[in-house]
Amino acid sequence: MKHDTDYEKDFYGWANRQAKLLRSRNLAKADIEHIAEEIESMGRSELRELESRLTVLFLHLLKWQYQPSYRGNSWRYSIKEQRQKIARHLRHNPSLKSKLPEALADAYSDAILEAVKETGLDEENFPRDIPFSYEQAMAPDFWPD
């Protein structure tokens, strides 16, 4: 099928052709299956962005808590930046809030692995469960001790 060839060999060209077909309401010629896949992929990408930002936030909150002698502006501003970008991302994608419990759990799990690599501490030093609520993690005045 021509759709498959275009989709696999020239994604940019395929995407532009599909956009034109959709705008002209020529659905009979549009590659509906691949269009649907791409839209779903875009949604997964937004979830990955949220998880990535939560991971960095949790990582720096853990480092802040477990390595107090290394606290500095770099961690402080990384925490502030992630809080701001997470809030903005959720404001622009409000339906992601329904995925927050899963995203928090996945991000915290990833943050522990990163914290082990970056701090040299054993994994057992970090709590298995998230030691602070989402609301605490996002609060501008929350700095775990």
Supply the range of the domain harboring residue 59.
45-138
pLDDT of residue 6: 81
In a domain, 31, yes or no: no
Distance CA 70, CA 54 (A): 21
In a domain, 54, yes or no: yes
In a domain, 74, yes or no: yes
pTM: 0.85
Stretches where the chain sits below pLDDT 70 are 1-5
Question: In this prediction, what percent of the chain has a pLDDT beyond 70?
Answer: 97
Contact 123, 108 (CB under 8 A): no
pLDDT of residue 1: 47
pLDDT of residue 10: 92
Distance CA 24, CA 54 (A): 40
Distance CA 130, CA 121 (A): 17
